Amino acid sequence: MLTISMGSPDQVCASLRAQIIVAEAQLAGLKRDLANAEQAARSETATIAETQHEEDQNGEERRWPLLQEEYKRYGRQMIVSQVGLKGQLKLRSAKVLLVGAGGLGCPAAQYLAGAGVGTIGLIDGDTVEVSNLHRQVLHRTKNVGKYKVDSAIESLRELNPHPTYIAHRTHLTPEEAPTIFKDYDLILDCTDNPATRYLISDTAVLLGKPLVSASALRTEGQLMVLNNPPRPPGDKTGGPCYRCVFPKPPPADSVVSCADGGILGPVVGTMGVLQALEAIKVITAPEVDGGSNSTTASPRDPPYLHIFSAYSSPLFRTIRLRSRRVNCAVCSAEPTVTLDTIRSGSMDYVFFCGSANLPSLLGPEERISAREYNQRHPNVTSDSSQLHTIIDVRDETQFGICSLQNSINIPISNILSSSYPTALQKADDEQQAAQVPSWLPSEVASSESTNPIYVVCRLGNDSQIVVKKMKELGLDQHGKRFIGDIRGGLRSWKEQVDSSWPEY
């Protein structure tokens, strides 16, 4: 129980910090105990399943391959001609790994569990946050702070207790990927960053695992089934891999996450459900060439890229993909990426995709903290707002959610898409007025004003780009006028100035 000791504010703070340290240590111990208990439970479940399987094979009374409850549970899908009893048995014996237990992984896992996939593995090192709940449908408010894989499996067991659920409470690394993947038949890529996507695809190809890959952002999504049918590197009859479709990663500064770009829950849910559907199709596909691998699909199925757009008509577009590239780094006859290069780390995926962390474009003298800005301009009123200009470069939708008083909204997309000269400082007043870009208020561009200009965005990245653009325009008047950004953006405003500021 939390207790607050009486005393000075410093003593109270010190006491609270000490109690938090103790509570965190207890929580860490409980999490370890839970992990050990769940591991023991899984082992016991696996032993019981093996015993029941042996009894089923040796017992003379067992006439039917499924339990009575399973016939009732899966009956509606077994009477679909593409599945049948044979397909249901393939599902029960299949082992599927989902990399990511978020917006894609939750609906995909939910439908795979509902369909009766025998073993479902989930790998994710993140914990549940409140911001996840609008789209990550397996998680509940009570599980905020809990590992996503544990929260997801808790919901999946309530849905269907028959499958074996395996939790991998870690972020996927090159060293561990081959070891984890080898125990599964099919991989679902439910992640949201390029480096992990290449790692997943490379490992799946080299281990002979089909891969269902999807992505979603804002109102759009993409879906592909890769390395299907799975063939060794150099075999032209195998399906293309992620590198065949995207030989080069996108520029690091062009990659936008859901946290920055936003996402509609039903959009990512649609793509996750489609991943589950494609996984079921791969697992239940008729075997060819007499093979025993239940995840070997017919070569007649060409690879496609399916593009979903929630606000377009039609909702889906489909692009046929080419076969494997002859010079692919992983699935060609002369691959440069192998399991050894993955495990050893010589295949550096972060370096290959570029750093996701944007470098600081401005010097310390060009940036101020949210606290410092508030101290310089406290309780801004309409009259005092003329002493400086604050420009918010978020888009109009985000600006409508919350904004600093008297700030001017100029979306960075408008700034970057406009063309303008870079030598306004050399022009006289009349020429300068004609050359000022349309997005820039005339009072801000005035050569007579030396009032400072502050630029703010959500996280403090876009604001740096805009400051550099404005200085290229000569608006700083050779250093006479301060132009800088608020370091850390509006997230730092909440942390340093106003705790009631909306966090989204």
Catalytic residue IDs: 258, 457
* Ligand-binding site membership of 402 (annotated): no
205-206-210 Cα angle (round to 5): 30
Token pair of 269, please? 């849910």
Count of Cβ atoms closer than 10 Å to residue 343 Cβ: 17
Q: Is 140 annotated as a binding residue?
A: no
Residue 321 tokens read as: 């993909």
CA–CA dist 96, 165 (Å, integer)? 10
Q: With 0-12 CB in 10 A as exposed, 13-18 as middle and 19+ as buried, what is 387?
A: exposed
Q: Which residues on adjacent β-strands are paired with residue 434?
A: none
User: DSSP states of 277-295 as a string?
Assistant: HHHHHHHHSPP-TT---TT
Q: 328 labelled as ligand-binding?
A: yes
Structure tokens, 385: 């707002």
**Would you say 160 is a known binding-site residue?**
no
Does the annotation flag 383 for ligand binding? no
Enumerate the β-bridge partners of residue 69: none
Alpha carbons 132 and 134: distance in angstroms, whole number? 6
Torsion angle defined by CA atoms of residues 325, 326, 327 and 330, in that order, rounded to the nearest 10 degrees: 70
> Which amino acid, one-letter code, is at 325?
R
* 192 has binding-site annotation: yes
Task: Determine whether the annotation assigns residue 106 to a binding site.
Answer: no
| CA 348/CA 8 separation, integer angstroms | 52
Nearest-10 Cα torsion for 334, 337, 339, 340:
100
Residue type, 481: R
Determine if residue 190 is labeled as part of a ligand binding site: no
Apex CA 329: angle with CA 327 and CA 334, to 5°? Answer: 65
Q: What sign for the dihedral angle of Cα 356, 362, 363, 367?
A: negative
CA distances from 389 to 168, 449, 454, 462 (A): 50, 11, 6, 17
Q: Answer yes or no: is 289 a known binding residue.
A: no
Residue 287: CB partners within 8 Å, gap ≥ 6? 293, 294, 296
State the greatest distance between any 2 C-alpha atoms of the chain, in Å, as a whole number. 100
DSSP 140-203: -GGGTTSBHHHHHHHHHHHH-SSSEEEEE-S---TTTHHHHHTT-SEEEE----HHHHHHHHHH
The H or E element containing residue 375 is helix 370-376
Task: Report whether 182 belongs to an annotated binding site.
Answer: no
> Of the candidates 172, 236, 177, 248, which has an alpha carbon nearest to the alpha carbon of residue 206?
177
State the binding site: 103, 124, 131-135, 148, 192-193, 241, 244, 328, 331
Q: Could you list the residues known to form a binding site for Zn(2+), using ranges.
A: 241, 244, 328, 331
Q: Which residues are annotated binding-site positions for ATP?
A: 103, 124, 131-135, 148, 192-193
